[in-house]
Amino acid sequence: MTTPSAKRAPRPHRRPKKDPARIVAFRALRAVDERDAYANLVLPPLLREAEQKGMERRDAALATELVYGTLRQQGTYDAIIAACIDRPLREVDPPVLDVLALGAHQLLATRIPSHAAVSATVELARVVLGDGRAKFVNAVLRRISAQDLDAWIEQVAPPYDEDAEDHLAVVHSHPRWVVSSLWDALGRWQPDASGRAAVEDLLRADNDRPEVTLVARPGRATVDELREALPEGVDGRWSPYALRLAEGADPAGVTAVREGRAGVQDEGSQLVALALAAAPLDGPDRVWLDGCAGPGGKAALLGAIAAERGAALVASEKQPHRARLVARALAGNPGPYTVIAADGTRPAWAPGSFDRVLVDVPCSGLGALRRRPEARWRRRPEDIAGFGPLQRDLLRGAIRAARVGGVVGYATCSPHLAETRAVVDDVLRGESGVEWIDARPLLPGLPGLGEGPDVQLWPHLHGTDAMYLALLRRTA
C-alpha cells in the first residue's frame, strides 16, 4: 500500500499555450483541405485577424513559411509520417495529419531546434486537437526527429533505378502523374536537356519560393518609378517592364500599384502579352480582343500597349464576377477599352472583328505550382482531359474572331502537352486558312526555346511560370 505522501499528486491542469503563428498556419491548412481554399487567398485574412489581436510581424512570417513550406513538401512529409505510424494515412484524421505535417516541416526543413519544434507542435495539438491526440502527435514527431530529411528520404523513397518517377515524386513532393506529365513535356521541348538532372531542376524550381514581380504598365508607369519605391528591386530577366522584388518587399505600398498603373505579374505572363503585341501584322492594327480576360493581368498590359499604339481593347470574360475584376484592372487605362461578360465559345462579336486576339484559356495550372503549392494535390489526371473540349472551342472561337491577316495567341499556364501543342494541332487539323507564326523571335534573349514555332517557358530555365504560347495567323 502506498502512503498518501508517496502518492503522486495529480498534475495541475495546465491550459495549453496559444501560439498564434502555428494556430494561423493550422487554420490555413484546414481551409485548404476542407474547403479547397487557395492558400494565397485564405492566409492573408487569417494573418490580418491575428495581427489585430496582437500577433507580431515575425510570427506572421513564420505562419506564412509554415503554410507554404508544408503544402509544398506535403508528399514527402506524408511518406515520412506513414513510415512512423502503424496504420494507413487515410485512417488518420485530416486535422491530425495537418498538425503532423506542420511538425515535420519544422523538424526537417527549418532552423527551429528539434525540441522547440516538437514542444510547440504538441502545444498546438493540445489547443486544436485535445490532450489525447496531442500524445499521439508527440510520439510521431519524436520518431520523425530521430533523423534528418536526407536520411528519411533515403529510407522512404524507392530507389531511382527501380522506379524513377516514384522516386522523384517522393523526393520532390509532386504527385507521380504530375512528375510524369512534366517530364514528358520537358522531353518534347528540350529533347537534349530532359534527363534526370533537368527534371529535378524543374521539380525543385516548383518548390522554390517564387519572386514577386511587378509590371510597370507602359505609358502609365516606369520601372524606374517602381524602383524608387522599392530600391532593392532588380530589373526583369526578359521583360523591359518588369521589376523583381526583394524578399519581403510589399507591393501594396507602391503608389503606382495602388493606382493600377503597375501590378503584380509574373514575367511569363508579361512575355505572352508582349509577344502577341509584337507579332508582325499587315494592314490595320486597331482593335484587340482578350477573350479569356479574368482577372485581367494580361488585359491590363495589352490595354496599355494598345493605348500607346492608338488601338482599342475588348476584354471579355465569361464569369461576371471575374469580368468585374478585369474592369478594375483596366480602370484608368489611357486608351479606349471595353469590358464585357461573354462566352468566348459563343462570341458576342461578328467574325473577323479583331486584329489581335488572345485566348489565355482555363487550364490545369500545372505551370504555376510555385505560386499555388496546393494545386498539385488537388488536380487529378482526368482534369486535363476535362479542359480539352473548352480549350479547343475557345481557340476555334479566337480564330474566328480574328480578321484575315490577324494574329491569334493561344496561351496556357500549363506545360502539359495535352493542353498545349495537342490542342493547337487538333484545331489546326480542322481549320483551313490558319498558319503558324514563329513565336521565338518575339521573345528576344530567351534561351532554350527549342524548335518552335510555339514556345514553352520553364521555371528552372527562365525563372517564369511555365507559360505556353502558340501564335497563329488567319490567312483566309
Indicate which residues carry an active-site annotation: 413
333 binds ligand SAM (CB under 6 A): no
Separation between Cα atoms, residue 175 and residue 179, nearest integer Å: 6
Comparing C-alpha atoms, which of 289, 324, 335 is closest to residue 474? 289
69 binds ligand SAM (CB under 6 A): no
What is the footprint of ligand SAM within residues 4-63 (CB under 6 A)?
none
322 binds ligand SAM (CB under 6 A): yes
Nearer to ligand SAM, 291 or 406 (CB): 291
What's the Cα-to-Cα distance from 271 to each of 294, 412, 429, rounded to whole Å? Answer: 17, 12, 27
**Residue 294 assigned as binding residue:** yes
Nearer to ligand SAM, 344 or 406 (CB): 344
Residue nearest to ligand SAM (CB): 294
362 binds ligand SAM (CB under 6 A): yes
Give the contacts of 2 (CB within 8 A, at least 6 positions apart). Answer: none
With CB under 6 A as the contact rule, the residue among 317, 355, 374, 419 that binds ligand SAM is: 317
Q: How far is the CB of 267 from ligand SAM (least distance, A)?
A: 13
Residue type, 105: H
Q: At what angle do helices 131-144 and 114-128 cross, to 10 degrees?
A: 160
Query: How many Cβ atoms are within 10 Å of 348's Cβ, its own excluded?
Result: 12
With CB under 6 A as the contact rule, the residue among 20, 236, 296, 373 that binds ligand SAM is: 296
**Residue 360 assigned as binding residue:** yes
356, 401 contact by CB (below 8 A) = no
367 binds ligand SAM (CB under 6 A): no
What does R_g of the chain's alpha carbons equal in angstroms?
25
**Residue 317 assigned as binding residue:** yes
148: helix, strand or coil: coil
What's the Cα-to-Cα distance from 140 to each of 76, 103, 425, rounded to whole Å? Answer: 15, 9, 51
Q: Which residue has the cell 509584337?
A: 278
**Residue 224 assigned as binding residue:** no
Separation between Cα atoms, residue 101 and residue 366, nearest integer Å: 23
**Residue 295 assigned as binding residue:** yes
Instruction: Name the DSSP letter for residue 91.
Output: G
298 binds ligand SAM (CB under 6 A): yes
Q: How far is the CB of 402 from ligand SAM (least distance, A)?
A: 16
**Residue 332 assigned as binding residue:** no
Comparing C-alpha atoms, which of 182, 232, 189 is closest to residue 211? 232
Q: How far is the CB of 420 from ligand SAM (least distance, A)?
A: 13
User: 344: burial class by Cβ within 10 Å (0-12, 13-18, 19+)?
Assistant: buried
**Residue 426 assigned as binding residue:** no
What is the footprint of ligand SAM within residues 236-275 (CB under 6 A)?
269
**Residue 292 assigned as binding residue:** yes
Which residue stretch of 14-22, 290-298, 370-378, 464-472 sits at the interface with ligand SAM (rule: CB under 6 A)? 290-298
344, 362 contact by CB (below 8 A) = no
Which residue stretch of 79-87, 159-167, 201-209, 313-321 sits at the interface with ligand SAM (rule: CB under 6 A)? 313-321
344, 291 contact by CB (below 8 A) = yes
Residue by residue, DSSP assigns 253-314 as G-HHHHTTSEEE--HHHHHHHHHHHHS---S---EEEESS-TT-HHHHHHHHHHHHHT-EEE
Q: How far is the CB of 412 from ligand SAM (least distance, A)?
A: 7
Which residue stretch of 64-72, 292-300, 375-383, 434-442 sits at the interface with ligand SAM (rule: CB under 6 A)? 292-300
Nearer to ligand SAM, 246 or 331 (CB): 331
**Residue 343 assigned as binding residue:** yes
Which residue stretch of 40-48, 124-132, 250-258, 295-303 sits at the interface with ligand SAM (rule: CB under 6 A)? 295-303
With CB under 6 A as the contact rule, the residue among 69, 233, 268, 297 that binds ligand SAM is: 297
Which residue stretch of 92-100, 337-345, 381-389, 464-472 sits at the interface with ligand SAM (rule: CB under 6 A)? 337-345
Q: How far is the CB of 256 from ligand SAM (least distance, A)?
A: 18
For CA atoms 453, 455, 460, 462, the dihedral sign is positive
Site string for ligand SAM, 391-420 (x = CB under 6 A): ----------------------x-------
- Known binding residues: 292-298, 317, 343, 360
* Residues tagged in the binding site annotation for S-adenosyl-L-methionine: 292-298, 317, 343, 360
Interface with ligand SAM by CB under 6 A: which residues? Answer: 269, 291-298, 317-319, 322, 343-345, 360, 362, 413
